[in-house]
Every structure is written in C-alpha cells, then in structure tokens.
Amino acid sequence: MAQQKATHITWHQATVTAQDREQLLNQKGCVIWFTGLSGSGKSTLANAVEQLLHQRQHHTYVLDGDNVRHGLNKNLGFSPADREENIRRIGEVAKLFADAGTIVMTAFISPYRADRAQARALLPDDRFVEVFVACPLDVCEERDTKGLYKKARAGEIKEFTGISAPYESPLEPEVTLNTADLSLEECAQAVMAFLETADLVPAGR
C-alpha cells in the first residue's frame, strides 16, 4: 500500500457528479481489467471490445501495458516492487476514467492477486470487471510475436512472468476466456454479453 506523503491537502467535490456524466454518456463508468500472460491476447481483446463499444457510440479508452510504460510509468522496471507500483498507478488512473463516466479497459499482465485486488477495491464491486485471458503458457510461447519468451528462456530477460517470475491466476474473475479455444470475435462478444448482463451498457440493438 502506497504511503500518503503529501500533507495539508483537501479533497474537493465536483459540482458535476459521476451520475451526471453517466447520464450524458448513456453508460456506466467502469473498469474492465484484462489480465493474463504475455501473448495471451489481452491487448488484442481489449481493443476488439473497445471497437464494439465504439460502434455502439460508447465513450471508451484502453490503457495498454507497453504504452503506459512509455510515459506515466517509464521510471518503473519489472521487479516485484516496481510491478506493484505499476499496477497501483494504473488502478488510480482507471478509477479517474471510470469517475469521468468512461468505460476504461486495462491490458496488463498484472501477475499478483493482491495488486489486482487493490485496484478492484478502488471502485464499487459492480464497476470492476476482471477478465482472465486464460491462454496456456505453451500457446503464448508459440505466438511470441515479440520474441520475449525466447529471450526469457535464454536468460536474456530477467523476472519474466511465466518463466522466471510467477503469475497468480484470478480465483473468481467475472469473465474467463481461453483465447486458444475461442476466436477473437467470440471472446469480444462474451465480454459484451457480460457488460449487458451487469447493466453497465444497454443491450445491443
């Protein structure tokens, strides 16, 4: 848990409420948290879901692991402590997006259950959707579009999740999808179906 260092600060309430913003956007601000091994298809799936939502005229944004490390989190590495801080920051940013009424998708390995639980705790239970992209390790290695697993196996990349660093699978995710068995379209539609069932977006027409 990050320590509060700033003092003499006061939380200012907005005059435009979260409910006001949601009514304007015809949706409920929420976080769809995609988690899984490198190469499991998190970013691809998050973008596919965003495309479906965009087609229905919903306001969305995808926070991608690599993209965020180019800016906001460029000072963080891949040690356990840095991974924890990486996810803590993303959780806080995602919370702000959700408060703005946006449907925000995060595509991060986020290997530790405690870190994901901390991100979930920032929002009401019904506004955090954990999607476990449960692709087997061997399939992720076969894909290896970035060549990362090969380098990790050769010892060129230290603390690589699934090889030399642990991945703690979700125990009770809202959605579990095996991208080795299901098509991208099937996975994206499954996420959309959950969002509709959870009353986060209106049923599609």
Is pLDDT of 4 > 80? no
Among all residues, which ones are annotated catalytic? Answer: 110
Q: Kindly report the pTM of this predicted structure.
A: 0.88
Nearest residue to 52 (alpha-carbon basis) of 173, 180, 184? 184
Both tokens of residue 130? 């954990």
Strands 103-107 and 60-64: parallel
Is pLDDT of 74 > 70? yes
Both tokens of residue 163? 């090889």
Q: What is the mean pLDDT of the chain?
A: 90
Residue 202 · residue 142 · CB < 8 Å: no
Residue 128 · residue 101 · CB < 8 Å: no
Is pLDDT of 99 > 80? yes
Is pLDDT of 1 > 80? no
